Structure 1
Amino acid sequence: MKRPVRGLLAALVGAVLLTTGIAATNAPAAVAEGNGVGATPALGWSSWSAVRHNPTAENIEATAKAMKDSGLAKAGYLYVNIDDFWYHCPGSQGPDVDQYGRWVTDETKFPPKGDENGIQVVADYVHSLGLKFGLYVTPGISKQAVAQNTAIEGTPYHAADIATTATEKNYNCKGMVGIDYTKPGAQDFVNSWADQFAGWGVDYVKIDGVGTPDVPDVQAWSDALKQTGRPVHLELSNSLDINNASTWAKLSNGWRTGGDIECYSCESNGSSFPLTAWSSVSSRFNQVANWAPYGSPGAFNDYDSLEVGNGSDDGLTLDERKTQMSLWSLAASPLILGTDLTRLDPTDLALLKNRSVLAVDQDAIDAKRISSDANTQVFAKTEQNGDVVVGLFNTSANGQTVSSTAAALGLPASADYSLQDLWSHRTTETSTGTVAATVPSHGVALLRIRPLHHAAALLTAPSTTVTLAGLAGASDGGQNTVTETFTNNGALAATDVRLTLTAPAGVTVEATSQTRFAAVRSGAGVSATFTVNTPASTGLFAAETVDASAAYDWLLVVPAKDTASGVLTVNQPVTAPDKTFASTTASFSQEGTRLGVRAQGSDVYGSTNQYGAIYQAGAEHDGSTTVVKIDSQTNTNAWAKAGIMVRNDITGTNTSPGFLILVEAPGKGYVIQWDANGDGQLDSNSAPNNTGIGTAAYPSWLKLVRTGTTYTGYYSTDDATWTEVAAVSVPSATATQDVGVFATAHQSGATSEVDFDGFATS
């Protein structure tokens, strides 16, 4: 009897979905910069992330071919952009220049073909595939042009007539100085350069190193590219000042809102992989919220490269890759891939070609942040046809329910709404006004929502969620009580609801309450509890994945299921004489001489004291030496900190003086920070230029030697050769102090795990 009913329902549901199908939205025609390009966010690829210092004709042409052959071009990815290192740079004297002061192509990388410049040769190939070609430049003029006093093409003026002595940013080659645009010949110089680019077939120009003082350069390049008569997209980079957003919108098609997405300290063995990290992606949530008012058709907020395409080499989990593409699309950001297109991961390729998600990006509408807390972010936008697209983001380490309401999202009043998941392509309905989804760790539910007739709602699968509670803080070989909750937001009751919880071999799960329910009405929920027994673990933080499932029927006969997963972390207890303290969310573990700290926290400096520490009370004294080995550290931020902490009282956050830390930071090397004035807050830094000494490596050893109230810090990468970090005075140090190891993530909502070994004070 079930098969005919289900077949009829399938036909009815299909008819309903046809009447509520996703219509393509037409992007507004207005173009802010007025150069005839960029009405929608650019889609393409840039060489910087994967190719980095070695773009060549061979690898750029191979990338262009891969873009076409993979179907990415058909999906709308058209730009093939060469970033830095295409020109010849002999050293800090600046790029080599031609007779008119313009950069000279590195012919070892881009060989000429007859009289044709090597860059033009590559551009011709890219164009032959139906694609577009981009190139990189920085503000100003090369010092070599000034030294040679090169002519400015078509004028009686020379480089020395227009150059200033101010240093311009060229991050890698260096050697660029400013241009005085009040001087005759200044605009002509940039026009000459733009004419050369246009003659080579350049369709996209990225100006890097742009700051507020470079507005005249941006204006000059904007005017210069227009006068060529060739439509050229103009992009600005990086970390543009939000106070000048209206200027960037007037003069360009897009601008980078922050620093690089790449995780330079994550790279290994001379490779540029992994390309990025979750901390780099999650840092964009606030950028998207802050910059949302300033994007518009033809002028887009650019959140940097989309690092999706190479599977685990991207540096992100699959859920994190969906999150990055969803956030960028909600924000109508350019989608410029940074990955290696010649070795695309099939799963990632499907993500990149998802037309439902690409349509969200190409609507040219910036999403607004609806809500945020330590573990969730909700962004939404209303499209021209009235649909609302919402991203429900889970930034926590465990799966959880993320929710909002139809009213908060700006939807019109309705008894029912359809929710189309743009990643799974599954459509459900809610009749409670709640818009919710079970979202995995660092994942997203990207939903297109519209009002739904009640009759259609009765034929659409209900929106349901499954949540888990009680996963945190399992003790080694101990027992946890885990609660699974199922909630039904659909129009009809869910019937014969069966809740189950499973775990890997060695972990036992036993239900301690009712797990089967005859019906769960609309807007209601049910819960079941389970006892989870974990075995004795090996390692500092053993992780056991538990899977929850809620199987049920709707319309009495149609089977459905919702699932959630969570990680039960097993901590081995820290034993005396060691103690623990946390001024942020943190957990601790000990295995023999090894110590583990998992800590959140936005920083330890100034009035911010957010850390987790394992310490010994009163063990630091005149003449003492403290050593520890850092085996590993989660790179949640370039300034994530792990190392040795001394303080008169480690539990006295923001109050206890005698405060000093010797740390390793993934992107900053080795640093000492200390409290010089005795107010209980770190106020002095051995890295005044925002970078310590050395390059972070794992394992590393730290050593802190106290003589009176002077502390000398050292680091080593082999436990044999020691390099001094700094020697500093902490006058407020008492005769005996607390000393320990600590960690802080330097990234709100992120958790940094640090594994220490051999902590000792003598």
Structure 2
Amino acid sequence: MGWNSYDCFGATVTEDEVKANARWMADSLKRYGWQYIVVDFCWFYPHPPGSKASPPPQFRLPDGSYVPWLPMDAWGRLLPDERKFPSAVGGQGFRPLAEFVHSLGLKFGVHIMRGIPRQAVWAKTPVKGIPGVTADQIADVHDTCSWLNTMYGLDMSKPGAQAYLNSLLELYASWGVDFIKVDDISQPYHAAEILGYRRAIDHCGRNIVLSLSPGETPLSRATEVNQLANMWRLSADLWDNWNQLRHAFELAAAWVSYARPEHWPDIDMLPIGRLSLRGPVGSPRYSRLSDDELQTLMTLWCITRMPLMLGGNLPDNRPFDCRLETNAEAIEADQGPYQPRLLQQSDTLIIWQSTDTLTRSKIFLAFFNLSEHPIKTTFRLNRIAAWSSANRRSSDILVRDVWKNESWRTRTRRQLFVQLPPHGCVLYRLSGYENPKQSE
């Protein structure tokens, strides 16, 4: 659970903006479980003040060198741009910013591009720890990203390629990084480099979350990626668009069975709140999703236990955004010991159930209306998974509407009567109810 700078600042987020979001999270969200502050891409790029270039280009000069020259150390490892991140001055990197985030009781993460900087290959920078090996000897110059031209892929069969990744993660660990999002790696799927990053993290001596991007990650790689990554993207970038959100239901259904503790399929960030302040998609705005659609977004992520990474500028949150992000019961469905499964799916109505795996005494039920019209439906409570033995002694159930904050009693043989607005949902939390007279 955390915040990522991409949806609101694209490639141009500054240190002050990161700190403002970190303070807001610490003050308003941390007690609900939100903890990661992630600086997204191109933190190394020397943007002129006010620039909205996203993604920003790098140009090759006649002598083969590059402009703008990106801040980089002697070992070919990129450093933060000091104009955007003044505390990085003097080669300190992200250590001062990470210390600030940690001082708030939060964790710090960075986005990185797969591979090695092209300018390091041109400069033939040495690979740390492997005498005589230079960047040009480990790069695959034919393996490039289609949308950002600053990096080459690594040929992991070459001596020194793994050492380069080890040195990279050694640097990030020294900064105090807790999370890395590696981009341009899972679509197309780069198996050897994914394994390389996994090994580098395991070698660095610090617990660092490995998140892979972008999607769609091939379903045929599900077992492998589940073993190597902590998060892996299921979709291309998801924005405030109903058609994309509707597609997310298909992705969740296909991938939910591959989740396990510390290893999670990841649809994408949550486009809630104030978006695209300086790009990357469209003009500055609050999310174009309606309130019903935003509630559907948050409910789908929570009932299927997807990672929760906020994309909007937190200090600009509206009251409704705050209610979505601070509903403790919805967050319980996402973060607690629950096992989700798809109960029913049609073109218009989808029902998910998620059961407490420890006691089986609590169940979440989510109903989603994908149609353009209101829906009324009924649901027999005896369709849900068996209760724990303690609850089978009583047929009373406490039903709680998570978003409306309303509760009532019913019995297992009865029905729920559900009304759903277009593109809307309800989320119920069901628990066994013991009549006090029966327990005396």
Whichever residue aligns with residue 209 of structure 2, its letter is H
**CA shift at 1:340, angstroms?**
0.8
- Of residues 404, 409, 417, the one that matches 1:424 is 404
The residue that corresponds to 1:291 in the other structure is 255
**CA shift at 1:170, angstroms?**
6.3
The residue that corresponds to 1:220 in the other structure is 196
Contact conserved, 1:139 with 1:214, CA < 8 A, in 2? Answer: no
Whichever residue aligns with residue 136 of structure 1, its letter is H
Of structures 1 and 2, the larger Rg is shown by: 1
- Residues 1:256 and 2:229 are matched in the alignment: no
Structure 2 residue matching 1:446: 3-state secondary structure: strand
**CA shift at 1:456, angstroms?**
8.9
> Over residues 607-652 of structure 1, what are the superposed CA-to-partner deviations in whole Å (9 max), with x where a residue is unaligned?
xxxxxxxxxxxxxxxxxxxxxxxxxxxxxxxxxxxxxxxxxxxxxx
- Residues 1:84 and 2:46 are matched in the alignment: no
- Of residues 19, 40, 60, the one that matches 1:61 is 19
Alignment of 1:493-642 (within 5 A): none
Change (3 A) 1:367 1:137: same
- Percentage identity across aligned positions? 29
The residue that corresponds to 1:104 in the other structure is 79
The residue that corresponds to 1:74 in the other structure is 31
- Of residues 316, 320, 327, the one that matches 2:289 is 316
Taking the aligned partners of 1:248 and 1:215, their CA distance within structure 2 comes to 9
Taking the aligned partners of 2:330 and 2:437, their CA distance within structure 1 comes to 25
Contact conserved, 1:63 with 1:342, CA < 8 A, in 2? Answer: yes
**CA shift at 1:451, angstroms?**
4.3
Alignment of 1:167-178 (within 5 A): 167-169=143-145, 171=147, 173-178=148-153
Contact conserved, 2:35 with 2:106, CA < 8 A, in 1? Answer: yes
**CA shift at 1:366, angstroms?**
4.7
Whichever residue aligns with residue 143 of structure 2, its letter is T
Taking the aligned partners of 1:150 and 1:99, their CA distance within structure 2 comes to 7
Structure 1 residue matching 2:211: 3-state secondary structure: strand
Contact conserved, 2:264 with 2:306, CA < 8 A, in 1? Answer: yes
Structure 2 residue matching 1:101: 3-state secondary structure: coil
Taking the aligned partners of 1:310 and 1:426, their CA distance within structure 2 comes to 29
- Of residues 203, 208, 220, the one that matches 2:183 is 208
The residue that corresponds to 1:236 in the other structure is 212
Whichever residue aligns with residue 42 of structure 2, its letter is F
**Quick check: which one's helix share is greater?**
2
**CA shift at 1:101, angstroms?**
1.6
Higher RCO (C-alpha 8 Å, min separation 6): 2
Whichever residue aligns with residue 146 of structure 1, its letter is V
Q: Report how many aligned residue pairs link the two structures.
A: 400
**CA shift at 1:308, angstroms?**
2.6
Structure 2 residue matching 1:368: 3-state secondary structure: strand
Taking the aligned partners of 2:144 and 2:178, their CA distance within structure 1 comes to 24
Taking the aligned partners of 1:125 and 1:260, their CA distance within structure 2 comes to 29
Structure 2 residue matching 1:199: 3-state secondary structure: helix
Taking the aligned partners of 2:437 and 2:2, their CA distance within structure 1 comes to 40
Whichever residue aligns with residue 330 of structure 1, its letter is I
**CA shift at 1:418, angstroms?**
2.8
**CA shift at 1:221, angstroms?**
1.1
**CA shift at 1:260, angstroms?**
0.9
**CA shift at 1:403, angstroms?**
3.6
**CA shift at 1:112, angstroms?**
4.0
Change (3 A) 1:68 1:114: same
**CA shift at 1:138, angstroms?**
1.9
Contact conserved, 1:206 with 1:236, CA < 8 A, in 2? Answer: yes
TM-score (norm 1): 0.50
Whichever residue aligns with residue 396 of structure 1, its letter is S
Structure 1 residue matching 2:379: 3-state secondary structure: strand
> Over residues 37-58 of structure 1, what are the superposed CA-to-partner deviations in whole Å (9 max), with x where a residue is unaligned?
xxxxxx1100010111211111
Change (3 A) 1:388 1:106: same
Taking the aligned partners of 1:113 and 1:137, their CA distance within structure 2 comes to 17
Over the residues paired in the alignment, what is the CA RMSD in angstroms? 2.4
Whichever residue aligns with residue 428 of structure 1, its letter is W
Contact conserved, 2:57 with 2:150, CA < 8 A, in 1? Answer: no
- Residues 1:434 and 2:415 are matched in the alignment: yes
**CA shift at 1:392, angstroms?**
0.7
**CA shift at 1:227, angstroms?**
1.5
Taking the aligned partners of 2:146 and 2:76, their CA distance within structure 1 comes to 16
Change (3 A) 1:133 1:170: farther
- Of residues 326, 330, 344, the one that matches 2:299 is 326
Contact conserved, 2:270 with 2:310, CA < 8 A, in 1? Answer: yes
Taking the aligned partners of 1:84 and 1:359, their CA distance within structure 2 comes to 30
**Quick check: which one's strand share is greater?**
1
Taking the aligned partners of 2:263 and 2:184, their CA distance within structure 1 comes to 19
Whichever residue aligns with residue 249 of structure 2, its letter is F
**CA shift at 1:452, angstroms?**
4.3
The residue that corresponds to 2:90 in the other structure is 115
Change (3 A) 1:402 1:280: farther
Change (3 A) 1:189 1:170: farther
**Structure 1: where are the runs of 5+ without partners?**
1-42, 263-275, 458-762
Taking the aligned partners of 2:309 and 2:373, their CA distance within structure 1 comes to 30
Taking the aligned partners of 2:321 and 2:296, their CA distance within structure 1 comes to 12
Contact conserved, 1:416 with 1:433, CA < 8 A, in 2? Answer: no
Taking the aligned partners of 1:199 and 1:418, their CA distance within structure 2 comes to 50
Alignment of 1:698-717 (within 5 A): none
**CA shift at 1:348, angstroms?**
1.8
**CA shift at 1:226, angstroms?**
1.9
Taking the aligned partners of 1:64 and 1:346, their CA distance within structure 2 comes to 19
Contact conserved, 2:13 with 2:84, CA < 8 A, in 1? Answer: yes
Change (3 A) 1:256 1:430: same
**CA shift at 1:128, angstroms?**
1.7
Structure 2 residue matching 1:367: 3-state secondary structure: strand
The residue that corresponds to 1:304 in the other structure is 268
Taking the aligned partners of 2:308 and 2:3, their CA distance within structure 1 comes to 8
The residue that corresponds to 2:139 in the other structure is 163
Comparing 383-392 with 336-345, greater Cα deviation is found at: 383-392
Whichever residue aligns with residue 438 of structure 1, its letter is Q
Alignment of 1:2-81 (within 5 A): 43-69=1-27, 71-81=28-38
Whichever residue aligns with residue 126 of structure 1, its letter is V
> Over residues 412-453 of structure 1, what are the superposed CA-to-partner deviations in whole Å (9 max), with x where a residue is unaligned?
577543321111221224444423311222111101123446
**CA shift at 1:149, angstroms?**
1.2
The residue that corresponds to 1:145 in the other structure is 120
Taking the aligned partners of 1:213 and 1:80, their CA distance within structure 2 comes to 26
> Over residues 283-302 of structure 1, what are the superposed CA-to-partner deviations in whole Å (9 max), with x where a residue is unaligned?
21111111011001010111
The residue that corresponds to 1:630 in the other structure is none
**CA shift at 1:113, angstroms?**
5.4
Taking the aligned partners of 1:398 and 1:422, their CA distance within structure 2 comes to 23
Change (3 A) 1:436 1:92: farther
Change (3 A) 1:114 1:260: closer
Alignment of 1:379-528 (within 5 A): 379-384=352-357, 385-386=359-360, 387-412=362-387, 415-431=395-411, 432-452=413-433
> Over residues 555-606 of structure 1, what are the superposed CA-to-partner deviations in whole Å (9 max), with x where a residue is unaligned?
xxxxxxxxxxxxxxxxxxxxxxxxxxxxxxxxxxxxxxxxxxxxxxxxxxxx
Whichever residue aligns with residue 213 of structure 2, its letter is S
Comparing 314-323 with 198-207, greater Cα deviation is found at: 314-323
Taking the aligned partners of 1:222 and 1:348, their CA distance within structure 2 comes to 35
Whichever residue aligns with residue 37 of structure 2, its letter is V
Contact conserved, 1:393 with 1:444, CA < 8 A, in 2? Answer: yes
Contact conserved, 1:378 with 1:404, CA < 8 A, in 2? Answer: no
**CA shift at 1:190, angstroms?**
0.4
